[in-house]
Each structure stands twice: as C-alpha cells, then as structure tokens.
Amino acid sequence: MNAEISEGLSVEEAQSLNQNLESFNHSITQRDESPLRLAARDPKSGDMVGGLNGIAGMDWLYVHVLWVDEEHRKTGIGSELMHEAESLAKDRGCKSSCLTTFSFQALEFYLALGYEVFGELKDYPEGHDLYFLKKVL
C-alpha cells in the first residue's frame, strides 16, 4: 500500500494517534495509564506557581513536565510536587518513576530526590545533554 505523507496533523488527528497507541499498548500489557496532574497555587492569590504533568501506568510514573515559577524556586515546591506525584503513583500501583531533564534544567534536583541517570544523549541540543532518570518508588 502506498500512502501520501504530509506534514501536519489536526488536534483531533493527534489525539487519535495517541488513543490508537494507548489501545495497542493496553492490548499487549493489559495495563491502563491515567493522567497524573498536580498544581501548586499561591494561597493568597490562587495563582499557579508550579505544577506537574505525568502519567501513571504500566507500573511506572512518567513525569512529563515539572515546572515551578522562577520566583518560587528553591522553596520546596518542586520537591512537594514530586513527593505527592510519587505517593499518588504508588497508590495507583506504580513501582518506579522515570523522567528526562536537560543539562541546563534540574539534574542535581532529581539526583537529590533519589533518581539515578540510566542514559544520556550528548549534544541534544548542541552544547547541552539530555538525561534519562529513574527511581524505584
């Protein structure tokens, strides 16, 4: 079969791709994945000052994004978000956690939380490295 390949997907097509892959994965692993999303909010204003977006499933927590507003970094919010995500993931049956971080982001932070590097992609992007980390929960 020949197919015409073109650049660009609609939002609906992108969602369909994800759903199709998730369905295939579930057919093999018999394990569900569920979003794990946390927000850290300023108690006075209610504004989000940090958050975590991840997936819990197939016995793993995958932390896709951890972000803390610059003004609130080094206050413990990132650690609180990670600990809460790991706790919720354990409640959902996860045994381990994994994530990636760039050399210009938060490698030392994750190492201090007990994560270990299991892979490194050098010069991605040029002049920087991408680290793959994991942790047993």
Whether residue 73 is contained in a domain is answered as yes
Whether residue 60 is contained in a domain is answered as yes
Whether residue 3 is contained in a domain is answered as no
Give the total number of structural domains in the chain.
1
CA-based torsion, 77, 79, 80, 85: positive or negative: positive
For residues 65, 70, 76, 82, the Cα torsion angle rounded to the nearest 10 degrees is 0
On whether the CB atoms of residues 38 and 51 are closer than 8 A, the answer is yes
Whether residue 57 is contained in a domain is answered as yes
Whether residue 123 is contained in a domain is answered as yes
pLDDT digits (tens, 9 = 90+) for 3-61: 998 899 999 999 999 999 989 988 998 878 899 999 999 999 999 999 999 999 999 99
Give the range of the structural domain holding residue 109, as residue numbers without chain letter. Answer: 33-136
Greater model confidence, 33 or 137: 137
